[in-house]
Amino acid sequence: MKTFTVEDANRTLPLVSRIVEDIVRKFVPWRDLLQEYELLKAGENLTDPDPRATVLEHEVQALAREIDGYLGELTELGVQCKDPGLGLVDFPGEVDGRRVYLCWRLGEPAVEYWHDLNAGYAGRQRVGTTAVSRES
């Protein structure tokens, strides 16, 4: 697994932010269409299926494929998307010899936070003076 320094993460941020913008832009319509599809299917009469369900299903699948493509781009960069609706991503890193995630959210100017592997967004801490270094 690739490990990032804060500097590495910030160097990749222009590309990562464009990919994340694409994910967020597609995720909300995908979620809304999926909900509409599920509601339509739940109320559908099996003997008289609603033709809109098929159209919605294809739209949901097409958006899902696009989102998966963007997620794959992040994975190739070594970055993990933690919340596609918020545009929250983690860069594997290291703080004081232990593995952590450097954390960034769409709209933030730079990677400035980290959290323990199991802490999540709520456990974010400012990078500050703590040394964040590349794993050997």
Predicted local distance difference test score (pLDDT) of residue 95: 81
What kind and span of H or E run contains 47?
none
Give the pTM. 0.84
Confidence grade of residue 120 (pLDDT, cut at 50, 70, 90): confident
Helical segments of the chain, H only: 6-42, 51-77
Integer Cα distance of 75 and 122 in angstroms: 23
pLDDT in tens, 9-52: 999 999 999 999 999 999 999 999 999 999 998 887 777 778 89
Three-class DSSP category at 97: coil
**How far are the Cα atoms of 79, 100, 103 from residue 119, in angstroms, in the given order?**
17, 9, 11
Tokens representing 27 are: 């995720």
